[in-house]
Structure 1
């Protein structure tokens, strides 16, 4: 990679990081709680929901159904919700057979910032059953939280793969399917 490209990539990553810091700083000033780390978000996802309140004995009125809560999604990074990395099996696991590695999350976020447009994750972590179902190799990095399959609308597979590689990820481009597999070494 030539020096000019390295400078552009570094500048874009730095700009994205600065934007995230400014955004998070603004949230702090508005007394918002700090965003959970990737590990905390996974732990929160795995926790049981709170128990329903008991109806007091002798109540004369029909209890009203609680209003559905509008919850903000748990964010893995500035642009990605934890849900985007979740195993999409048909109930073989709880969705989190393992946690996504923070280093991978950071690199995918940098990829998104580099292109300035959404990056769609089609497969994040996988349980063994889902990995077998999609024809994944037995040593798949998806089963260890170190891989994701993704695409970026409007960006060619070759350009996406080259940029992901420049950002430090191992890449397998799937030109005929229109996506790339990215991974980090655990």
Structure 2
């Protein structure tokens, strides 16, 4: 009975977080209609590159800002910070009980590109204590850096799952909670 209450409260919290994210993203998109997505500017890029190529291949005539805002935290890929994959426990570990598998990082980046919009990672690597807290199985791929839970605001779980499978990821959809679990296939 206690586990049932835990599941209900987790589902409620996740639903509230997803709804809040959707409302926030909707309010942002309604304020700036048809605004082009801001390009990611890395430290290695110089201002001598006046044109930016968006994901759809079109070239923007907009110049790169004179002083671009650069996030100095480490990037896992073009659209994801390493922090997004870190264990979100309450201090049981340093955030990195294991490393994320580079192939998983590549496939999640490919998924983000296939979606054409932000993908939100809700759980990357987990320490054993965090895995137990969220009700993860003892053999969880999260503990090995081989799995992540994610969702894409404005995209249904089924569509996201289909795109994830197209990138070569194994998936476990959680329709009632609004996210999917992705992991690398066993070799």
Normalising to structure 1: TM-score of the pair? 0.63
> Match for residue 97 of structure 2?
97
Aligned counterparts of 1:91 and 1:85: Cα–Cα separation in 2? 15
**Equivalence for 2:45:** 27
**Number of the residue aligned with 1:109:** 109
Root-mean-square deviation (CA, aligned residues, Å) is 2.2
Cα deviation for residue 28 of structure 1 reads 7.2
SS at match of 1:27: coil
Deviation of 1:71 (Å) = 5.5
> Is there any run of 5+ residues in structure 2 with no aligned partner, and where?
1-40, 49-69
Contact between 2:115 and 2:163, CA under 8 Å: does it hold in 1?
no
Give CA deviations for 1:89-138 in whole Å, capped at 9, x if unaligned: 00000000000001000010011111111000000000000000000000
For normalisation by structure 2, the TM-score amounts to 0.63
Give the Cα separation in 2 of the matches to 1:139 and 1:85. 19
Decide whether the 8 Å contact of 2:119 with 2:150 is kept in 1.
yes
Deviant stretches of 4+, over 3 Å: none
Q: Does 1:122 align with 2:122?
A: yes
Q: Which has the larger Rg?
A: 1
Note the residue ranges of structure 1 that are not aligned, 5 or more in a row. Answer: 1-22, 31-69
8 Å Cα contact 1:73-1:81 kept in structure 2: yes
C-alpha distance after superposition, 1:119-173 (max 9, x if no partner): 0000000000000000000000000000000000001000000110111000000
CA distance in 2, matches of 1:183, 1:116: 21
User: SS of the counterpart of 2:181?
Assistant: strand
Aligned residue for 2:157? Answer: 157
Match of 1:13 in 2: none
CA contact (8 A) 1:146 1:185 kept: no
3-state SS of 1:80 partner: coil
